[in-house]
């Protein structure tokens, strides 16, 4: 597989998000599921579905395995043709990440006005308002660290163990750890409130 991936000229940009916030977003996607977080007579619950790597019944598959397989593709394609961005970095320092994308694609330098226009159009609020409802269903809050408002420490610790088991040593997963720990999120939350 790796040999065929290196033959092309296309560029790949992969955006990864910390998997705890991903779980919260998937839980709320298209309305809270009937089986809730922890399960009931309607099913196992969002939490159990998320950490069940072997039999993940989520319609979109396992987030853990998506990150793992995306990492394999990024490694196979190589750094000249693949750029990995963290959603959290886009949210917290969009200008820097936009410049990284621009440089990666070999585009001419963006004017300040163009960069501001792109940032405004990419904001969650703008996408919700300007798309005629197309994105309203899939864009909820767009916050970093909202996972802290759901489930208890015991479940998040179990989640961390699954993360370590499946994604330990996966290069594109490592930066996500900083957003999956309560330490340091106060600073991020304060930055989000200013924007």
According to DSSP, the residues that pair with 83 across neighbouring strands are 13
**pTM, 2 dp:** 0.85
Tens digits of residue pLDDT in 120-149: 888 877 777 776 655 566 666 778 888 999
Task: Give the whole-angstrom CA distance, residue 17 versus residue 12.
Answer: 16
% the chain with pLDDT above 70: 84
User: 3-class SS at 173?
Assistant: coil
Looking at per-residue pLDDT, the higher value among 86 and 25 belongs to 86
DSSP state letter for 123: S
State the virtual CA torsion across 45, 50, 53, 58 in degrees, nearest 10: 80
DSSP string of 20-79? HHHHHHHHHTTS--TTTTT-BTTBS-HHHHHH-SSS---TT--HHHHHHHHHHHHHHH-T
């Amino acid at each position: 597989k790796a040999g065929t991936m290196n033959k092309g000229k296309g560029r790949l940009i992969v955006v990864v998000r910390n998997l705890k916030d991903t779980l919260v977003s998937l839980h709320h996607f298209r309305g809270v599921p009937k089986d809730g977080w922890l399960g009931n007579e309607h099913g196992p619950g969002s939490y159990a579905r998320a950490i069940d790597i072997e039999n993940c019944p989520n319609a979109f598959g396992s987030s853990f395995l998506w990150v793992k397989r995306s990492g394999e593709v990024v490694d196979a394609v190589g750094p000249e043709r693949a750029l990995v961005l963290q959603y959290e970095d886009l949210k917290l320092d969009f200008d820097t990440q936009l410049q990284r994308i621009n440089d990666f694609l070999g585009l001419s330098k963006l004017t300040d006005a163009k960069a501001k226009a792109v940032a405004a159009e990419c904001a969650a609020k703008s996408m919700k308002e300007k798309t005629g409802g197309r994105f309203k269903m899939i864009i909820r809050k767009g916050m970093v660290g909202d996972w802290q408002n759901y489930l208890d420490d015991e479940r998040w610790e179990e989640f961390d163990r699954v993360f370590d088991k499946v994604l330990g040593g996966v290069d594109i997963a490592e930066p996500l750890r900083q957003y999956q720990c309560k330490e340091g999120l106060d600073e991020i939350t304060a930055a989000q409130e200013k924007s």
